[in-house]
């Protein structure tokens, strides 16, 4: 890949990444949304974070089969409780990493 090809690729990636980030902010913030849409958007953060997280914890392999045996899942339980108790993002990142590291040493 030449330098110019690489730059063009980056510009393409930048454009298709930026537009979905910008369009709703530019247009939705200018209008009052119907209550049902606002209610739906209010649930989006909880839904999307859970949708990102669940397959990481509960599936394995290229075929993404269901499993309850991943250390990622078992470390998630105390990490979740710590986050619930402290509501500290920095603390949770440190504790989660430490527990996962320990799990790797012990298992």
Contact set for other proteins, span 20-79 (CB under 8 A): 20-26, 28-29, 33, 36, 38-59, 63-66, 72, 75-76, 79
Q: Please, what is the minimum distance in Å from the beta carbon of residue 106 to other proteins?
A: 12
Tokens representing residue 95 in the block: 């504790």
How many residues contact other proteins, by CB under 8 A?
74
**Between vectors from CA 27 to CA 22 and to CA 31, what angle results, nearest 5°?**
145
The residue from 34, 69, 74, 80 that contacts other proteins (CB under 8 A) is 80
- Cα–Cα distance between 24 and 30 in angstroms, integer? 10
């Amino acid at each position: 890949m030449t330098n110019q090809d690489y730059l063009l690729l980056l510009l393409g990636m930048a454009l298709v990444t930026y537009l979905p980030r910008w369009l709703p902010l530019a247009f939705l913030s200018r209008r009052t949304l119907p209550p049902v849409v606002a209610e739906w958007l209010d649930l989006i953060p909880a839904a999307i974070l859970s949708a990102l997280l669940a397959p990481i914890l509960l599936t394995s392999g290229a075929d993404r089969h269901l499993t309850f045996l991943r250390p990622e899942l078992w470390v998630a339980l105390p990490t979740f409780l710590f986050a619930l108790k402290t509501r500290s993002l920095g603390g949770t990142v440190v504790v989660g990493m430490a527990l996962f590291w320990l799990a790797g040493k012990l298992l």
